[in-house]
């Protein structure tokens, strides 16, 4: 467990700076498109701090997939839950998502559908690569056996 906590912390620190960078890009795009003219120092500070923490948690959450005794579907569920709670908390705290049943429900549906699509794509890609590697290993094993 100590190993995973250390890995979580290290991976989180690697990702830590990407949150504020992404926030700066979003703020710039909103300003250039005329959606947002200016923000207060409090709004900017909260946005910077909360996105840094969000990036840290997202980066660290990858360690869940390193826990070998976890079934893959449980790891996906845990990872998705951590991301969902982190995102919705940051969005609500910053006022990027209005408090209420409808906005939270819409966010939840979009998040779940997007997460499932991305995970399906990732798992399909991994499965194909694994099958290809297994086939190559089998061919190599057959070649070695035929030489004997």
pLDDT at 96 over 70: yes
Angle at 106 between CA 104 and CA 108, to 5 degrees: 65
pLDDT confidence band for 109 (50 / 70 / 90): very high
Burial class (CB in 10 A: 0-12, 13-18, 19+), 118: exposed
CA distance 25 to 27: 6
CA distance 52 to 19: 5
Question: For the whole prediction, is pTM greater than 0.85?
Answer: no
Per-residue tokens: 68: 């070998």
pLDDT digits (tens, 9 = 90+) for 114-124: 999 998 998 89
> What is the DSSP code string of 4-22?
HHHHHHHHHHHHTTHHHHH
Domain ranges of the chain: 1-97, 99-148
Q: Are 20 and 60 in contact (CB under 8 A)?
A: no
pLDDT at 148 over 70: no
Per-residue tokens: 53: 């923490």
Q: Which distant-in-sequence residues (6+ apart) come within 8 Å of 127 by Cβ? A: none
3-state secondary structure of 95: coil
pLDDT at 86 over 90: yes
pLDDT digits (tens, 9 = 90+) for 17-57: 777 788 888 888 878 888 777 888 888 888 888 988 898 88
Per-residue tokens: 5: 């906590």
């Amino acid at each position: 467990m100590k190993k995973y906590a250390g890995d979580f912390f290290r991976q989180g620190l690697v990702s830590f700076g990407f949150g504020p960078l992404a926030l700066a890009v979003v703020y710039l795009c909103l300003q250039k498109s005329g959606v947002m003219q200016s923000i207060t120092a409090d709004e900017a500070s909260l946005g910077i701090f909360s996105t840094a923490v969000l990036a840290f948690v997202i980066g660290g959450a990858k360690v869940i997939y390193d826990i070998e005794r976890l079934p893959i579907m449980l790891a996906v569920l845990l990872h998705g839950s951590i991301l969902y709670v982190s995102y919705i908390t940051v969005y609500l705290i910053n006022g990027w998502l209005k408090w209420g049943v409808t906005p939270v429900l819409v966010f939840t549906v979009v998040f779940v559908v997007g997460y499932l699509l991305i995970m399906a794509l990732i798992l399909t890609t991994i499965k194909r690569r694994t099958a290809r590697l297994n086939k190559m290993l089998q061919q190599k094993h057959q070649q070695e056996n035929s030489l004997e």
